[in-house]
Chains A and B, each alone.
Chain A
Amino acid sequence: MDLEQLRKTAAEIVDRDDVKYLIGWKQGSFGYRVAPSFVEDAAGAAELIFSPLCTANLATYLTLVEKLPVPRGQEADDRKVALMVKGCDSRAVVQLLVEKGIHRDQVIVVGCPCPGMVDPALLAENYPETEEPAELKWNGDGFLLIRGGEEIKVARDELLAEKCRLCRYPNPVISDISLGEAVEPWEPVEDSGVIEIEGKDIDGRSDYWEEQFAKCVRCYSCRNVCPLCYCQDCILDRLNPTWVNRAVNFSENTAFHIARAFHLAGRCIECGECERVCPANIPLGRLNRKLAREVRDKYGFEPGVDPEAEPFQASFKPDDPEDFIL
């Protein structure tokens, strides 16, 4: 993508009177880090980037923003928010529209066709992070890492994030303004992570998840980063009744993760953010992708592609197979 075009377009958008800010990505404070950026003026627009490091799904900020009481005599700021989205991120926007979590006229979707993101952990493992901010670009079939004056060509397969290997929607499924040319979708690989677990017997699966969930510290970064976990009153925060105890142990942690996975069934758009942010390295993507696959295979439903669709968990078809009901 042409960065000049991106910055120019962004500057034009934030210059509009009906726009509050544009949410995009900018260079982070060190190493490979990229930070979400809330752009309000041309100076902010000039910092925007779009690179294989822009993994974060910014759609979460559409619902994360606090709606504080407006002081007497002042009016609520209901100007539009512009949002930069990749293919996967755009599906979150569509799903939010389906669920009426946001209104279409509140958002300006700036679509960024995405040739694939890198796995930040893998990148740091193979090419240790330095203090000085580094740059990563798409380069033909691979990536170009520019670090400390040095240019390193890296093969796409070496660093491509798992969610991108599995990606079926590299181009935004919804956008008001599109930046750059659409990319040619690639053949997704088999979901070896999910297949591995499906291959285990019940005890094996139980052991696997017990080991994973035991590591959870309940920081809720997976829930908070998730663009589709936006309940104002989450069952995890409830004290009366306490659905999930605050005690951190395998049993409560499991209740938390299973509850979250079920609430996302037919809603998860597989952006992989939950797994990326987990400080305990729990492969949450496998859990959510398994349920997404069940919904796809059993009901032919794919969330986040059609803004006019009915929400999966609120829809009923007389010819649903229901072959799991005895």
Chain B
Amino acid sequence: MSAMLLNKDKWPEFVGKLAGKKLWAPQADGDAVHFAPVADGEVPTLDFRNTRVPPKQAVFPQTETMYRFQLGTEEMELPELNEETILLGVRPCDARAMTIVEKLFRWDIDDPYYLKRRELVTLVGLACNEPGLNCFCPSVGGGPASTEGLDLLMVDLGDSYLLEAVTAKGEALIAETKEILDEAGADSAKEKDRIISEAENKIIRTVDTEGVPAGLPGLWEDPLWQRVSAACLGCGTCTYLCPTCHCFDIQDETEGFEARRCRMWDSCMFEEYTLHTSGHNPRPARRERTRNRINHKYSYYVDKFDVIACVGCGRCSNLCPVNIDIIEILRQVKEAL
């Protein structure tokens, strides 16, 4: 693994060298930040904590056309997926989430859409010097400089970024920009370690997951679920903004004779999510839906794929309109075990 230094003065030049591919970077909109395509000639700044909507949308778009067809014919047209994209400034939690979700999309069948997009995207990570208030990535197996899922990790050292290639794609990116990079010395590595350990110390909130995956099903009828879900509005904020939530619905949409089959994000917090055509709903209330959300992340997924489907990014706690806080829920779960 090669480590290089990029002086911040050369950041515009670095971005310019990547311009052959489609670039996405975090962009501010009021107090929110979103991943959005970078316009030609524009130089994104990496001054942000984390984006509201996670970069999962680059590999798992909210609406994905699976194929197009004409009503009354049997012909269908598959979408072409061939645009290589570089995501600049992906936080380690969000990249790690992609490796977790990928397990599902490789499970019974290989999902061509997800895997193709994953192949086409290069994730340039940015370690977290200043973790957010509700970050708890170390509690669930991550860290402010975790490289899982990333192709390249950048660490902000003040005047420069330390670039560490993680995969062959990352190596290639370094090779492409080599002429404006400098070799990183031992002192840079030391500085990185100092910054990252400082960042780790800034993470205040924690979750104790020991015994949770095995114990959760035993709490099925526990009064805690009523307590933690009483205020739930049943909206999709927690799930849509979650980097590991991956549920989708498939629908056909027509306009005249033109039609397409597409899949779009769905949320287990919506009433219609489990509504049967008979009118029966096995998860009739927000209590059951909240219970499912926590069980899926902290128990079912662990059972099936041996990893907790939560990366501790804190978005659900930050953005829930009624302060339903996953850290608090897990504290109550732990207490009830």
Residues on A close to B: CB < 8 A? 28-31, 33-38, 56, 60-61, 64, 66, 68, 121, 124-125, 129-131, 215, 217-221, 223-225, 237, 239, 242, 245-249, 273, 276-277, 279-281
Q: Which residues of B contact A (CB under 8 A)?
A: 29-32, 34, 52-53, 62-63, 133-134, 204-205, 230-231, 233-237, 240-241, 249, 251, 253, 262, 264-265, 267, 270-272, 284-286, 317, 319, 321-325, 327-328
Given contacts A34-B323, A221-B235, A224-B235, contact A279 B133 (CB under 8 A): no
Beta-carbon contact of A247 and B264 below 8 Å: yes
Instruction: List 13 A-B pairs, Cβ < 8 Å.
Output: A34-B323, A36-B231, A64-B233, A66-B285, A68-B284, A217-B236, A217-B265, A221-B236, A242-B253, A246-B63, A246-B264, A279-B241, A281-B29
What residues on B are CB-neighbors of A218 within 8 Å? 62, 236, 240
Name 16 extra pairs, CB < 8 A, besides A29-B323, A66-B284, A246-B63.
A28-B325, A38-B230, A60-B233, A131-B133, A215-B29, A217-B240, A217-B241, A218-B62, A220-B270, A245-B253, A277-B321, A279-B319, A280-B32, A281-B29, A281-B30, A281-B31
With A30-B133, A66-B284, A246-B251 known to touch, is A221 a contact of B30 (CB < 8 Å)? Answer: no
Chain B neighbourhood of A34, CB < 8 A:
323
Using Cβ atoms and an 8 Å threshold, which residues of chain B touch A279?
A: 32, 52-53, 237, 240-241, 319
Q: How far is the CA of A41 from the CA of B324 in the complex (A)?
A: 21
Asked if A56 and B322 sit within 8 Å, CB to CB, the answer is yes
The residue that B231 contacts in the complex, of A35, A130, A242, A276, with Cβ under 8 A, is: A35
Give chain B nearest CB distance to A138 CB in angstroms.
21
B247 smallest CB distance to A (angstroms): 13
> Which residue of chain A lies nearest to B62 when distances are taken between CB atoms in the complex?
A248
Contact of B267 with A248 in the complex, beta carbons under 8 Å: no
- Given A219-B237, A221-B321, decide whether A247 and B32 contact each other with a Cβ distance below 8 A: no
List, in ascending order, chain B residues with CB within 8 A of A35's CB: 231, 322-324
> Please, which residues of chain A bring their CB within 8 A of the CB of B264?
246-248
Q: Is the CB of B325 within 8 A of A29?
A: yes
Q: Given A277-B235, A279-B32, do A219 and B240 touch, yes or no (CB 8 Å)?
A: yes
- Chain A residues with CB under 8 A of B241: 217, 219, 279
Residue pairs across A and B with CB atoms within 8 Å: the count is 121
B262 to chain A minimum Cβ distance, whole angstroms, is 6
Contacts of B233 in A (CB 8 A): 60, 64, 221, 224-225, 277
Q: Once the chains bind, are A64 and B234 in contact (CB under 8 Å)?
A: yes
Contact at A246–B267, with CB atoms within 8 Å? Answer: no
Q: In the assembly, what is the distance between CA of A40 and CA of B195, in Å?
A: 48
Residues of B within 8 A of A121 (CB): 31
Within 8 Å CB of A130, what residues of B?
133
What is the CB-to-nearest-CB distance from B23 to chain A, in angstroms, rounded to a whole number?
19
Inter-chain contact A247/B240, CB cutoff 8 Å: no
Cα separation A68 to B230 with both chains bound (whole Å): 14
Give, as a whole number of angstroms, the nearest-CB distance from B50 to chain A.
Answer: 13
Q: A277 touching B323 by the CB < 8 A rule?
A: no
CB of A82 to closest CB in B, whole Å:
15
What residue in chain B is nearest A121 (Cβ atoms)? B31
Chain B nearest CB, measured from A117 CB (Å)? 14
Closest to A28 in B: B323
Of all chain A residues, which has the CB nearest B205? A131
- Return the chain A residue nearest B64 by Cβ: A247
CA distance A35 to B321 in the complex (A): 9
